[in-house]
Amino acid sequence: MPLKKRIQRIGLPPDHNRRDVRRVGLNRMFKKILIANRGEIACRVMRTARRLGIATVAVYSEADQDALHVLLADESVPIGPAPAAASYLSIDNIVGACRDTGAQAVHPGYGFLAENAAFVDRLANAGIVFIGPPAAAIRAMGDKIASKLLAEKAGVNTIPGHADVIQDPIHAVAVARKIGYPVMLKASAGGGGRGIRVARDDDQCADGFVRATGEASGSFGDERVFIEKYIGRPRHIEIQVMADAHGNVIHLGERECSLQRRHQKVIEEAPSPFLSDETRQAMGRQAVALAAAVGYQSAGTVEFIVDQDQNFYFLEMNTRLQVEHPVTEMVTGIDLVEWMIRIAAGEPLPISQADVRTSGWAIEARVYAEDPFRNFLPSAGRLVRYLPPPETEGMRVDTGVYEGSEVSIHYDPMIAKLITHGTSREQAVARMRDALNRFYIRGVTHNISFLAALVEHTGFRSGRIHTSTIAEDYPDGFNPADMAHDDPALLIAVVASIHRRYMDRAAGIIGQMPGYERKVHDDWVVLMGGAQHTVHVSPVEGGHDVTYEDETFQVRSAWQFGEPLFIGTVNGNPVCIQVERHNLNYRLYHCGSQVDVRVFTPRAAELAASMPAKPPPDTSKSLLSPMPGMLSQLKVRVGDVVKSGQDLAVVEAMKMENVLRAESDGRVEKILVAEGDTLAVDQTIMEFE
Ligand code: ADP
Ligand code: ADP
Ligand code: MG
């Protein structure tokens, strides 16, 4: 597909049942805005700006010259080298880009400068409008200790704790004992799930204090840490607020974000399957009170944790558009970015609290370039194939990349968000399952199988989840065993039909000698999961009837050779299975599972069964780089004797240091790389004797 057309398809979704906003002060509406961000959120903001007839300016680093947000914008300005500190975080360069292009306002997206009050001040000095809250509100809420005190004053429930800086490990232990274990140590300047530690006893508390302090000063340049009660197995439920410059504050209901991995959200939904209407209203009232107390304007989110008895406690307020804002848009029909822009232009909120209505259910899944089988280490590389699902009814894709894009190690590894909507939660879940089955990504390792497994998770299906669900149910991380398909017969039937199509085509090849044509048989043996499955495949109109273990599967599809997605029906039920063919092997991807299959004639199957199995290569004698990155440190030398668990090397990727440790005792025989080298995934770093 030509690039332009592909971008149109990705960039311009159908409008959701959006209510039109009263157009007040249209003459003050911006003519041109700059989006100080990259990736999916920059593209998403441009979508709305374009619909409102506002010209858009993109900014980009040297790593992003060909990025989707640059292609979608009306104008674009380079702002520096790849590292964010030199480009997307450079206030000078971004204010300069506004001046050069005449942009009247800036939307910051999330991350980068979105919650940077100094940036807002600088824009104001340059006469440029910030599409977000006032600097004072950002300052008041940017610090977790200060915001907690402020929330208390505004009558908001807060988590019992010590809302003050902890001085040293001894102080930490004294405070923790007073609060009562377990406790949580938190960086006051923290964000993105970092700088958080749970402590269950004195030792963990003293140790956690030292670690949290170090992490906080490293990540946020601010080492202040405080302590609060750890609420066991809570839910994370947050309230979307909206406030204008005329003193109106409303909320747009809640989002449930309890499915988290390491305090970071993975799947979100609206409404929450847990809240009673009474709790929902009480939380909404407190969120509005807090926003009003800080003189808030624009979109903001008040995060709460909620215990099993629906007691709720304030966590923090995020003074920006949230990653998961689309689920609120899908259930309210409101375009939050449009409201942010209109509010920044001085327009009042178009509706009052009583007019806020929600309909149906929405779910969001975050698609990351990361490897779920390697402890979710970020991955990078070129998107050789990238086919997001089509944006049909109830399905929205917010994407920041296109086929051929490079996923860089410099930024957040999120590549897209899938958002589905349905009249019921079941329908929204079913659409998400379908969206994940259709999302075809090759070239970069991604987390779709993990997301698909979560969608099938019984706790999630019944709405019984809490913030530790993933940690408890995947204690050893995500493993191939977690990908078992719950209906292997379906895969067997489909692969039999696919194989039959190949064989029929091969048999139809012209130029065969009369009387010696290849005949295609109806009986086949499917080798899957180490077992042989005998099937009978009869051609019928539009597909095959496949008989397996006395059951007949009616497989129907218009699938053509080489198409990556097998879309059709089995016994009348829609299916979408991703198919790859490697020589004699088929690899199928469906509902989070990945299965390698072969199909034999009965005679070939007999022979195959007597072939010895090939043992997998022995990788225990070498240390491989688990991800693309830079070797920042070698901790051993040739000849060193190492013990299991000992640190061997440090690989830096995505601004994170990953320590690689010995898996067993041994002696270093050879080191194949040097500090400072760039490593590819699976590149050998060292070998052992
Ligand atoms: P949300 O609550 O919107 O889901 P996340 O916690 O996932 O927000 O963060 C959204 C983005 O903002 C992520 O890219 C995260 O890394 C970044 N982010 C959030 N807070 C901070 C912070 N204090 N410093 C740096 N980056 C942050
Ligand atoms: P961040 O700024 O990194 O988003 P938050 O304060 O919002 O930090 O906390 C992130 C997550 O950590 C929450 O969503 C929740 O899962 C967990 N969490 C935070 N505070 C507590 C607490 N006191 N008890 C239990 N879990 C907590
Ligand atoms: Mg948070």
For the chain, give every domain's residue range.
Answer: 3-132, 160-229, 366-479, 488-509+519-608, 622-688
Tell me if the domain spanning 366-479 has CATH number 3.30.470.20. Answer: yes
> Quick one: which ligand is closest to 240's CA?
1
Tokens standing for 531?
């077992």
Instruction: Please give the distance, rounded to the nearest whole angstrom, from the Cα atom of residue 414 to the centre of ligand 1.
Output: 12
With respect to CATH, is domain 488-509+519-608 assigned 3.30.700.30?
A: yes
* Ligand 2 binding pocket, CB closer than 6 Å: 159, 184, 190-193, 196, 228-231, 234, 236, 260, 263, 303, 305, 315-316, 467
Chain centroid offset of residue 579 CA:
24
Structure tokens at 565: 């997605």
pTM of structure = 0.86
Cβ atoms of 410 and 628 within 8 Å: the answer is no
* Closest protein CA for atom 12 of ligand 1: 111
Pocket of ligand 1 (CB under 6 A): 110-111, 191-193, 264-265, 318, 322-324, 412
CB 626 within 8 A of CB 658: yes
Band (530; pLDDT cuts 50, 70, 90)? confident
pLDDT value for 16 = 39
> Which atom of ligand 1 lies at the shortest distance from residue 301's CA?
2
Query: pLDDT higher for 561 or 60?
Result: 60
238, 316, 364, 370: which one is catalytic?
Answer: 316
Is residue 226 a contact partner of residue 145, using CB atoms and an 8 Å limit?
yes
DSSP-assigned letter for residue 461: H
Ordered strands of the 666-671 beta sheet: 622-624, 684-688, 666-671, 641-642
Decide whether 3-132 matches 488-509+519-608 in CATH topology.
no
Per-residue model confidence (pLDDT) at position 511: 58
Which atom of ligand 2 has the smallest separation from the CA of 318?
Answer: 2
Report how far ligand 3's centroid is from the alpha carbon of 268 (Å). 13
Q: In the predicted model, is pLDDT for residue 617 greater than 70? A: no
At the topology level, CATH places domain 622-688 in OB fold (Dihydrolipoamide Acetyltransferase, E2P) (2.40.50)
pLDDT interval class at 7 (50, 70, 90): very low
Distance, C-alpha 564 to centroid of its chain: 23
d(CA 119, CA 213): 26
pLDDT of residue 293 exceeding 70 = yes
pLDDT tens for residues 592-609?
998 999 999 999 888 887
Residue 428 neighbours by CB under 8 Å, 6+ apart:
269, 360, 361, 362, 363, 394, 420, 421, 422
Asked if 338 is an active-site residue, the reply is no
Output the CATH code of domain 160-229: 3.30.1490.20
User: Per residue in 443-499, pLDDT tens?
Assistant: 999 999 999 999 999 999 999 999 999 999 999 899 877 888 889 999 999 999 999
Cα–Cα distance, 227 to 386 (Å, whole number): 44
Residue nearest to atom 22 of ligand 1 (CA): 191
Could you tell me which residues are beta bridge partners of residue 496? none
The DSSP string of 316-352 is: EEE-S--TTHHHHHHHH---HHHHHHHHHTTPPPSS-
User: Could you give the CA distance from residue 121 to residue 297 in angstroms, rounded to a whole number?
Assistant: 15
Checking if the pLDDT of 216 tops 50, the result is yes
Is residue 354 pLDDT above 50, yes or no?
Answer: yes
Nearest to 326 by CA among 338, 317, 334: 334
**Class of the CATH domain delimited by 3-132:** alpha beta
Q: What angle do CA 135, 141, 143 make, to 5 degrees?
A: 110
CA-nearest residue for atom 5, ligand 1, is 192
Instruction: State the chain's mean pLDDT as an integer.
Output: 91
Q: Which two three-digit tokens encode residue 395?
A: 């399905």
Ligand 3 centroid from CA 360, angstroms: 26
- Do residues 388 and 439 lie in contact, with contact meaning Cβ atoms separated by under 8 Å? yes
Q: What percent of the chain has pLDDT over 90?
A: 78
Contacts of 403 (CB under 8 A, 6+ apart): 6, 383, 384, 385, 386, 387
Q: Are residues 144 and 165 in contact, defined by beta-carbon separation less than 8 angstroms? A: no
Tell whether the model's pLDDT for residue 10 goes beyond 80: no
Closest CA to 237 of 416, 397, 40, 463: 463
Mutate-to-test residue for ligand 2 from 138, 183, 315, highest number of ligand atoms within 8 A of CB: 315
Q: Stretch 355-370: mean pLDDT, rounded? A: 97
Write the CB contacts of 27 (distance below 8 Å, at least 6 apart in sequence): none
Torsion of CA 161, 167, 169, 172, to 10 degrees: -10
245 C-alpha to ligand 3 centroid (Å): 25
Task: Say yes or no to pLDDT of 588 above 80.
Answer: yes
Index of the ligand 1 atom closest to the CA of residue 220 = 24
The mean pLDDT of 661-677, rounded to a whole number, is 88
Whether the Cβ atoms of residue 158 and residue 148 lie closer than 8 Å to each other: yes
Determine the Cα–Cα distance for residues 89 and 189; give it in Å rounded to an integer: 17
Predicted confidence at residue 612, as pLDDT, reads 67
Ligand 1 centroid, distance to 298 Cα (angstroms): 18
What's the pLDDT at 27?
57
